[in-house]
Amino acid sequence: GINKDILRFATIKKPSMFRQTFEILCCYPAQEISFRKILGQLQDHGNTDIVKHYISLFEAAFLFKSLQKYSNQPFRVKSSSPKILPLCPCFYSLLSSSDDKLSFVFESSVGATLLQLSSDMYYWREGNNEVDFVLKWRKRLLAIEVKSGKKRKATGLTLFTQLFPEALPIIISRENYAAFTANPALFLEGLIP
């Protein structure tokens, strides 16, 4: 877990870079983003260690969750680009007037709700195949795909469950979103055999 003292003893040597990092993360809701991409958008010079430190501070303040790629091999988890999940999906609308990422905002909302059940959450990607959230919950492995539009094809979910047969595939869409948010635990329990 996150060390709660990290905020108490943290020093911000470059406040403008800290603010810029926050703004960049807000613009990529529920998306993978490499540390190099973040660095490339900063106006100040920095390095990946500074960016990782700032992200850890945002996590300690419960502003963002940095999801790692799900893998049975720990070294692959550590080397993956994080998927940044704003814990308040409205962060995106504060900094953008565009509606082009509303599907990611919807995904962020689902992810923030799932984190209330378990912090043991990841994402998964192999090439173009992906699973939005991989959740370890009540001794089960849940592969959760979020669909905000009419397109229902979930090839990533199919491939993931072939690679990890113990995983239970779940699709959360606009149609079942109200039932999911009303009681997330009950919703998931109803889908677990």
Q: What residue type is assigned to position 174 of the chain?
A: R
Among 31-45, 67-81, 156-170, the least confident range: 67-81
C-alpha 141/C-alpha 169 separation (Å) is 9
> Are 29 and 105 spatial neighbours (Cβ–Cβ below 8 Å)?
yes
Distances (CA, A) of 187 to 51, 142, 157, 170, 192: 36, 13, 19, 11, 9
Q: Is 138 left (phi over 0), alpha (psi -120 to 50) or beta?
A: left
Provide the mean pLDDT of the chain.
86
Q: Which of 73-77, 80-84, 111-115 is modeled with the greatest confidence?
A: 111-115
pTM of structure: 0.86
Among 4-8, 85-89, 141-145, the least confident range: 4-8
Residue 66's DSSP bridge partners are 84
**Comparison of pLDDT for 149 and 94, the residue scoring more:** 149
Distances (CA, A) of 152 to 7, 17, 110, 170: 42, 39, 17, 12
For residues 146-175, average pLDDT: 89
**Comparison of pLDDT for 14 and 152, the residue scoring more:** 14
> Are 28 and 84 spatial neighbours (Cβ–Cβ below 8 Å)?
yes
**First and final C-alpha spacing in the chain:** 30
Instruction: Give me the torsion for CA of 166, 155, 111, 184, rounded to 10°.
Output: -60
pLDDT of residue 146: 95
**Comparison of pLDDT for 60 and 73, the residue scoring more:** 60
pLDDT of residue 1: 46
